[in-house]
Structure 1
């Protein structure tokens, strides 16, 4: 934290004290957005019972939030240029906070789902705009540390969400899972008005058709993966996949022809940016394959309860909390691709160790191997995000943030689809067999190995570039 307050001659970004206040705003926004998935996950059975709906229907309380957040990411990233990131981030945080009131007071599932749609849009605004503001808030020499703190904040939400949700449900009803957003959101809003850097929007036409196409492409893909993971229906899966691909192709064609594109495709001509985005895609495929497949091992094979299964994951986000700040600090001093490659190597080792678990594995064996994965992922994530955000000019940071969020969503969804493909018709036929989960974990390790190899190639390119400048 002392380093983030430091100042040097020629530094860009905000003054040190305002820098910390702005960082507190962005960390609060990230924490609220992540907590609202992990808090609600553990409460779904209680909410289904109180609202009088089947458990299979109650999952839309989670799904619709994630769907809206995924579908609107690129739209809000582009709107940040149009109306100004200051206004859009504050508006997103206000919408998110106020819609929490509607969620808490909802008398029925349809009303609750409706307010979750609005809440997901608020979360999308914060997630798509927040990362780009780091380029304005912090000087380039501290960007890695800022990214590390952000990754740590997300990990706190992942690790603490189930425990906090369980604690709230132990003393209060489920609406309090939404009421707790009010004090945090109100405080962050007051701080945001004062601390976030103000900027004017730019007067140019907004690509409405591009926004619709991006939402259809991302949204239909997320719906397809969710349905596929719950029991694939060939006709529906093919229809949604076709819709997603058609919308994606139309989106690319549109972006090439329109004068003011939603996503300038020229940013992908920067090799560092494209390589970092592809690395991020592979890394989130690997992480998602572990997150989706391990519960089957813990519950179907080893016999743990859903709550105990969630607790067995805790070392992963805790490890990320430890690894991300250190990786970000090193990335500000050394080659970011090299640090990312080291972290990805540790993640691969951790996933291989998890793949070797069997039905008789001791709790300690599960915990320490999961912790290795978390440390590796955190050590990788902050340097890679630093490279992704820092490789483009500052005026393109909004587009970079939109791509970063979209790649994360697409990678997580693709990883879930691959796990469903591996487990479909196998796990449920042999519920005591650990082999299918092992195959999924080995597949995740393979995706991680591809990401690690890409990081190594980027490291060689980074050294050649530095040698040219020297």
Structure 2
């Protein structure tokens, strides 16, 4: 578990901590600030587009092998990023890092499932969920600490010794697959290409619509973003139709036909969309409307992960005793209430008033995440654990990307002056949390038998 936890920490942190270094990277490599955002996007696109192929390799070969190769590629990408002499080389190195991260993330929950006995699996998934949740919000703080004493190169350099250590430990400690399909799925090149094109075009199209940081002077017109999205959807429709004919598809339509699995995916996408909506919008309220300092705002935001850490052990003890859909639904209802209370705050709230609301949100999110992840992982057959793991990570990234697009659209329509746009975004986050709670609760309802009235 130490190997699994440290590996996922590295990859999730990396997705968020480079943002703070972009101005320094652009300056040192003599690149336009608007181009430096590709350093972030290359990592995210490579990770998202290659999650499912890496998961399929895990089912076919072994999760252990995919994890170890992914860690080796990630360390190599970190070394190449640290030594990059120009922006194009750095972008290529970041894509290599993203490929390694995809290998690590794709099999992470499957390895947790193989590490813990079934009766204790809830604990393992809860621990893993806490690490993912806290790493996702800790990235900027970690980057600020490193950049306060060193150059941006050290953000990559620190990954190398830790990656090598995890390779050495993982070779000895990680479990081997205990079940494989009688006829393992073959990775066909056309399917992999379609998978990459689908996810890459969807990400790029949504990113164009959201107007990523640094793109202000070279923003693509909305029609271009919509065209890229339409192309991605068309390729996706063809790709999914092709996958429906496969016994063990790369895009796991077989798992999505399982009612509980499909509802769990919708629950995850909506919940992570709500989380990102809040984390992007809230600093605008804190800094521009409530006039808090950056340090004060940063410290307040840690109340959310603190709530997750408090809720996770409780969720671990309740998994198995209560239905996962009902348990996660209760957490999401609590998240919805906390977000609504945040959106409705008027005047200049005190530190305590903001902190306890964020603590409620984090507690609700922590109560949702572990049972939901447990349901996703365990509702798939053991020989398809890799595919379930890949979809779990895909749902998280898809939800986060959707949340970023929504908050940008709200800001473009309502602006940020006076807190109107940020409050509307947090209000939408509360609505998404409510929708997610409905999806989750629907899992607890037994489906009617065919032919029933």
Matched, 1:435 2:420: yes
- Give the whole-Å Cα distance in 1 for the aligned partners of 2:138 and 2:414: 33
TM-score (normalizing by structure 2): 0.90
3-state SS, counterpart of residue 417 of structure 2: coil
Instruction: Give 2:436's aligned residue.
Output: 451
Aligned counterpart, 1:168: 146
The 5-angstrom pairing of residues 60-71 of structure 1 reads 60-71=38-49
Aligned to 1:272: 260
Rounded Cα–Cα distance in structure 1 between residues aligned with 2:200 and 2:132:
23
How much does 1:333 deviate? Answer: 3.0
Aligned length: 439
63-72 or 39-48, larger mean C-alpha shift: 39-48
Q: Structure 1 pair 143/317, CA: closer, same or farther in 2 (3 Å)?
A: same
- Of stretches 300-309 and 269-278 in structure 1, the one that deviates more from structure 2 is 300-309
Q: What residue ranges of structure 2 are gaps of 5+ in the alignment?
A: 212-218
Deviation (angstroms), 1:159: 4.3
Shift of 1:81: 2.3
Partners in 1 of 2:350 and 2:185 — Cα distance? 60
Matched, 1:93 2:78: no
2:164 equivalent to 1:186: yes
- Contact 2:184 2:248 (8 Å CA) reproduced: no
Counterparts in 2 of 1:287 and 1:391: CA distance versus 1, 3 Å? same
| Aligned pairs (5 A) from 1:20-419 | 23-199=1-177, 205-230=186-211, 233-258=221-246, 260-304=248-292, 309-358=297-346, 360-419=348-407
Q: Which moved more, 1:392-401 or 1:157-166?
A: 157-166
The two structures have a TM-score, normalised by structure 1, of: 0.87
Q: Deviations over 1:4-31 (max 9, x none)?
A: xxxxxxxxxxxxxxxxxxx111101110
Moved more, 397-406 or 253-262: 253-262
* Structure 2 residue matching 1:210: 3-state secondary structure: helix
- Flag the 1:141–1:195 CA change in 2: closer, same or farther, 3 A: same
CA distance in 1, matches of 2:379, 2:324: 11
Distance 1:225 1:304 in 2: 31
Residues 162 and 416 of structure 1: CA distance in aligned 2, closer, same or farther (over 3 Å): closer
* Residues 311-338 of structure 1, C-alpha deviations (whole Å, 9 max, x = no match): 4422222222222232123113332222
Q: Tell me whether 161-170 or 381-390 shows the greater mean CA deviation.
A: 161-170
Report the CA distance between 1:50 and its aligned residue: 2.3
| Cα separation, 1, equivalents of 2:237 and 2:282 | 34
Q: Tell me the C-alpha RMSD between the 2 structures.
A: 2.3
Shift of 1:341: 1.6
In 2, Cα distance between equivalents of 1:313 and 1:227: 28
Consecutive unaligned residues in structure 1, runs of 5 or more? 1-22, 466-470
In structure 2, the CA distance between the partners of 1:54 and 1:369, relative to structure 1 (3 Å rule), is farther
